[in-house]
Amino acid sequence: MKVTLSVIKADIGSIGGHITPSKRLLETVRQHVREKGEGLLIDSYVSATGDDIAILSTHTRGPVDEAVHKLCWDTFMKGTELAKSQGLYGAGQDLLKEAFSGNVRGMGPEVVEMEFDERLNEPFLFFAADKTDPGAYNLPLYLAFADPMNTPGLLLSSKLSRGFRFVIMDVNYTEGDRIIELNAPEELYDIAALLRDPERYVVESIWSRATGDLAAAVSTSRLHNIAGKYTGKDDPVMLVRTQMHFPATGEMLAPFAVGHFVAGGMRGSHNMPLMPVKLNSPISYFDGPPIVTCAAFAMHDGVMTEAVDAFDHAFWDSVRERVAGKAMEMRRQGFFGSAMLPMGELEYTGVMEKLEELDGRFEVRED
Ligand code: F6R
Ligand code: MG
Ligand code: MG
């Protein structure tokens, strides 16, 4: 059976600043999707990661379907009304356009969708990150799909040995989708050369070269490219199919033990390590650290099992402890050097104005 997975995600308001949506807001969204999705969706799962609410749904209508997108847009609009009535911070902040027009792409919410022929058993992972941008997944995807030091399946399985095709997007280009397709392993160094710059080059999707199947897909919108200014971090979502001719679930999770530094955290303007956390975790230290959750599912005929929390295991407690250490270590250098993002990525413009004013006061010495 051909099934579509759609994830549409937005920050429509949260408690105590950017911490987490209220229980009533989450319940309102859940109920709206359940009621209005009847006859349209096969199944759905609504969750929160930090201050973001994601609607994961299954259906047979294909990606960029107007009815599915409208359902999510209307749900977020309805949620925004409640968020305003509760005085939640940043109510409706990711809904950047007034009226719905065909689909939610370019309107603020993050979107990731996949259409595929369901396998006899269909394990897949749904990742959601908060306080960071889509390039945060570059390193884990590179390690899981292209590095045999992380993924022994690349050596052990003849299908994985054929490699993967990376579709990478230049997210600075706003006239349309500017993409490049590169094959691992032959073009590994080219892939690496792009992915090292996660603010500009972002993995959009990865395909099996053995079967042509879609393996992974990432939401690529950058909110500031839509709004023309920074309106918050993008907080990307990702879907990854695992096992058989794809990396195993454990091979996809393993790279998150690195706790790599990503753009995000306080005022959307700092480099902080990405912490793998339990489902529905809030935000805390230094408006961060940036977090990532992973819900694992099995699916049959589009009906999903319950979500299993892939980072809720004793192993990840020690990772979290180490990542907290890295976060505090970075914070010791305050605003200096690589602790704060480069000028072009800052969410606040105050420092630019200050520099402009100071620039006029510089003098060149006569002698
Ligand atoms: C992302 C997020 C941040 C904030 C940023 C600035 O979920 O919440 O990117 O948008 O920290 O927010 P203010 O200016 O409201 O503190
Ligand atoms: Mg936010
Ligand atoms: Mg957020």
Pocket lining: 18 vs ligand 1, CB cutoff 6 Å:
yes
SS3 track for 245-280 = CCCCHHHHHHHHHCCCEEEECHHHCEEEECEECCCC
Q: According to the model, what pLDDT value does residue 343 have?
A: 87
Ligand in closest contact with the CA of 131: 1
Q: State the chain's mean pLDDT as an integer.
A: 96
Q: Per-residue pLDDT for 3 more than 80?
A: yes
Q: According to the model, what pLDDT value does residue 54 have?
A: 98
**CA 288 / ligand 3 centre spacing (Å):** 10
Q: Per-residue pLDDT for 57 more than 80?
A: yes
Q: Per-residue pLDDT for 347 more than 90?
A: no
Q: According to the model, what pLDDT value does residue 266 have?
A: 96
pTM to 2 decimal places: 0.97
143-157, 210-224, 302-316: the lowest-pLDDT one: 210-224
Q: According to the model, what pLDDT value does residue 226 have?
A: 78
Average pLDDT of the segment spanning 28-51: 98
Q: According to the model, what pLDDT value does residue 267 have?
A: 94
Closest ligand 1 atom, residue 230 Cα: 10
Share of the chain above pLDDT 70, in %: 100
Q: Report every protein residue that has its C-beta within 5 angstroms of ion ligand 2.
A: 11, 18, 51, 232
Average pLDDT of the segment spanning 33-57: 98
Q: Per-residue pLDDT for 346 more than 90?
A: no
Residue with token string 């305050």: 334
Protein residue with its CA nearest to atom 14 in ligand 1: 267
Q: Per-residue pLDDT for 133 more than 90?
A: yes
Pocket lining: 260 vs ligand 1, CB cutoff 6 Å:
no
Catalytic residues: 11, 230, 233
Q: Per-residue pLDDT for 290 more than 90?
A: yes
pLDDT band at 229 (very low <50, low <70, confident <90, very high): confident
Q: According to the model, what pLDDT value does residue 231 have?
A: 73
Average pLDDT of the segment spanning 145-157: 98
**CA 60 / ligand 2 centre spacing (Å):** 31
Q: Which of 347, 348, 351 to mutate to test the pocket of ligand 1 (most atoms within 8 A of CB)?
A: 347
Share of the chain above pLDDT 90, in %: 91
Pocket lining: 69 vs ligand 1, CB cutoff 6 Å:
no
**CA 357 / ligand 3 centre spacing (Å):** 33
Pocket lining: 268 vs ligand 1, CB cutoff 6 Å:
yes
Structure tokens at 186: 């032959």
Q: Per-residue pLDDT for 116 more than 80?
A: yes
Instruction: Tell me the pLDDT tens digit for each residue of 64-110.
Output: 999 999 999 999 999 999 999 999 999 999 999 989 989 999 899 99
**CA 28 / ligand 3 centre spacing (Å):** 18
Q: According to the model, what pLDDT value does residue 224 have?
A: 77
Q: Per-residue pLDDT for 174 more than 90?
A: no
Question: What distances in angstroms separate CA 7 from CA 235, 317, 332, one per listed residue?
Answer: 13, 28, 37
Q: Please state, in angstroms and rounded to a whole number, the distance separating the CA atoms of residues 298 and 305.
A: 6
- Name the β-bridge partners of 294: 127
Average pLDDT of the segment spanning 307-330: 98
Q: Per-residue pLDDT for 294 more than 80?
A: yes
Q: According to the model, what pLDDT value does residue 285 have?
A: 98
Cβ-defined contacts of 312-319 (< 8 Å, 24+): 312/278, 312/279, 316/257, 316/276, 319/256, 319/257, 319/259, 319/275, 319/276
- Name the β-bridge partners of 308: 296
**CA 290 / ligand 3 centre spacing (Å):** 9
Protein residue with its CA nearest to atom 8 in ligand 1: 18
Q: Per-residue pLDDT for 352 more than 80?
A: yes
Pocket lining: 11 vs ligand 1, CB cutoff 6 Å:
yes
Q: According to the model, what pLDDT value does residue 348 have?
A: 84
C-alpha 14, offset from chain centre: 18
